[in-house]
Amino acid sequence: MPQLRAQQSGRYYNISSIGGFSGAFPGWGIYCATKFAVQGLSESFAAESEAFGVKVTIVSPGYFRTDFLTDNSLGLPKQPIEAYQAVRTSQQMHREQINQAQPGDPEKAVQVLIDLSQVENPPLHLFLGEDAYTTAETKIQNVQKDMADWRSVATSTGF
């Protein structure tokens, strides 16, 4: 940042995940929490760095065909709790059905990022992949519905 601040320009790309925008992934709470932290930090950093001409983009990919879901990458519980069978089922589905069948092409994702580096006004939020877009749109719709449904109650707290 000292270099970018001195030159009054630059780019930051923080790689998060769609799991950092929507936590609707049973069994992936710790992963989602870390990615939510990246998103919050990046939004604040974008507000701080704007005065110096530095642009921040949060890249939130969906499923891309990498080794992320392999047994070597995942840490699974050694003593699973029986009550969380739905979580175990989700994790098993990710390992056995989604792994190596992810819809995203990592090479195309890299090209998008390279192309983005040439754009004068890059987005703060970049949802990468059709699945990421769908998940983000669903969350946004759900948040808007909650806000509309609860507006009168939530805004009744003033003096």
pTM metric for this prediction: 0.84
CA distances from residue 5 to 19, 48, 53, 120 in whole angstroms, order as listed: 31, 11, 8, 17
What pLDDT tens digit does each residue of the chain (159 aa) get?
Answer: 999 999 999 999 999 999 999 999 888 888 999 999 999 999 999 999 999 999 999 999 998 777 676 667 667 778 878 888 888 887 777 777 777 767 778 889 999 999 999 999 999 999 999 999 999 999 999 999 999 999 999 999 989
Indicate the domain borders of the chain.
1-65+104-133, 67-101
* Separation CA 135–CA 94 (nearest Å): 16
The CATH superfamily label for domain 1-65+104-133 reads: NAD(P)-binding Rossmann-like Domain (3.40.50.720)
